[in-house]
Structure 1
Amino acid sequence: MTAISDRPQMLPEQFEEFARHLATTAEGVRPEFINGKPGVKPVPDGDHGRVTQWLLRICIHARPELHLHDPGLKVQGCRGGFARPDGTLADADAFVGQGDWAAADQVLMAAEVTSFDSDTDRRDRVEKPRAYAESGIPVYLLIDRDSAEVLVHSQPDGVRYGTVRTLPFGRIVQLPDPVGISLDTEPLKNWVR
């Protein structure tokens, strides 16, 4: 996502209109609005997509009542943010009828896979963990292809996550409740540069 500036440049309502317009004019663009700043998330590369498929298969096998969705989420409560996680674990019907930007109240886990762009550090490692914690999402999973690590954020307190576990690719990662899924991260070594 490329931020346009460090200061808020539009209201959340203006962003929603901007995002609708972008969806009809720019193919493959994923707009976001975090900390009052609009941005555009780049189209993921093939390895990024493969990591997301890997996670989807594990989640469906372990918890068939859930699905790894990809809706836009309303985040950050009263500040009015909008994020597009790479994966959102929730009940299969959690987002039925919610439109372009769904409420985050039924989300068990938000997942992000780092991209190789200039602001992935700020977006995936700083802004999104805070936005997801403020929204009460119980688990934030960051698959960091730069460092070949998996970060599991849990115990949100409404401002930040109280616990962050960092494990290298190749380890078994236990996602805490309410997710309760084990990930064998060995295959992730195949999808990094």
Structure 2
Amino acid sequence: MTPDTEERPQMSVEDFEELVRRAPRKLRNRLEFLGGKLCVRHGPLDVDEFEELAAVAPETVRLEYVNGKVVVKAMPDGNHREIFVWLMEQCMQYRSDLRLYPESGVKAEAYRKGRARTGGTLARRGHFKAADIPVYLLIDRDTHTVTVFSEPKDGRYLQAPSYPWGSQVDLPDPVGFTLDPEGLKDYAD
């Protein structure tokens, strides 16, 4: 489960000012706040510059690096948390050997050319690894779909079927169980 790449959420002036105060000196003069959006002057940040900025961002600001752009993402809301708990319960019911870890940062250069934060990462108990994730589940509240990315190869997923909410969702191995996302309708908005 991960946030989508759309740039809807914006930051407040106060959050922008705090981000600039905390930013590495070399980046401060490159950050602008235009029309409620965080913008970067003088070309895009490279990955190292982004990681420096994201590391000092205030807890009220969630940054991702998508296709070479810095994107401000919405902080998880109550419905996001309910979806996370629902998914965790499903996973525990079918695969007690797996754990759903919240809010994981992932490097996704080949797939999304940057850095992103997942809503949750499913991994075996006692072994957290955010690279080479064999099954990646995107629960999209805007389109009311569940997309299952699987068969990673060369930084991309070869399979990515989408299902409307209410349809059974078969999760391939190594997860290997079927989700019934009917309950997600309660958290659509």
Counterpart residue number, 1:37: 69
In 2, are the aligned partners of 1:8 and 1:36 still within 8 Å (CA)? no
TM-score calculated relative to the size of structure 2: 0.69
Which has the higher mean CA deviation after the structures are superposed, 52-61 or 160-169?
A: 160-169
Distance 2:149 2:44 in 1: 30
Q: 1:75 aligns with which of 108, 118, 130?
A: 108
2:48 corresponds to 1:52 = no
Cα RMSD (Å) of the superposition? 2.7
Counterpart residue number, 1:181: 177
| Counterpart code for 1:186 | E
Cα shift readout 1:128-161 (whole Å, capped 9, x = no counterpart) = xxxxxxxx43222111222222111222232532
| Unpaired segments ≥5 residues, structure 2 | 8-37
Q: 1:104 aligns with which of 111, 114, 130?
A: 130
In 1, are the aligned partners of 2:121 and 2:130 still within 8 Å (CA)? no
In 2, are the aligned partners of 1:32 and 1:38 still within 8 Å (CA)? yes
Cα shift readout 1:48-73 (whole Å, capped 9, x = no counterpart) = 22111111111122222221112212
Q: 2:167 aligns with which of 161, 167, 171?
A: 171
Label 1:67 to 1:18 Cα distance change in 2 as closer, same or farther (>3 A).
same
Label 1:151 to 1:80 Cα distance change in 2 as closer, same or farther (>3 A).
closer
Cα shift readout 1:59-88 (whole Å, capped 9, x = no counterpart) = 1222222211122122226x9722100111
| Counterpart code for 2:75 | V
2:155 corresponds to 1:155 = no
Distance 1:33 1:147 in 2: 23
Task: Note the C-alpha offset of 1:187.
Answer: 0.5
Cα shift readout 1:91-117 (whole Å, capped 9, x = no counterpart) = 23334xxxxxxx633xxxxxxxxxxxx
Q: 2:93 aligns with which of 41, 61, 64?
A: 61
Counterpart secondary structure, 2:126: coil
Counterpart residue number, 1:18: 53
| Counterpart code for 1:30 | R
Label 1:75 to 1:160 Cα distance change in 2 as closer, same or farther (>3 A).
closer
| Counterpart code for 1:156 | P
| Counterpart code for 1:104 | A
Q: 2:140 aligns with which of 132, 144, 158?
A: 144
| Counterpart code for 1:75 | A
Distance 2:117 2:76 in 1: 12
Q: Percent same amino acid at aligned positions?
A: 43
In 2, are the aligned partners of 1:173 and 1:182 still within 8 Å (CA)? yes
Distance 2:43 2:98 in 1: 36
| Counterpart code for 2:180 | D
Counterpart secondary structure, 1:40: strand
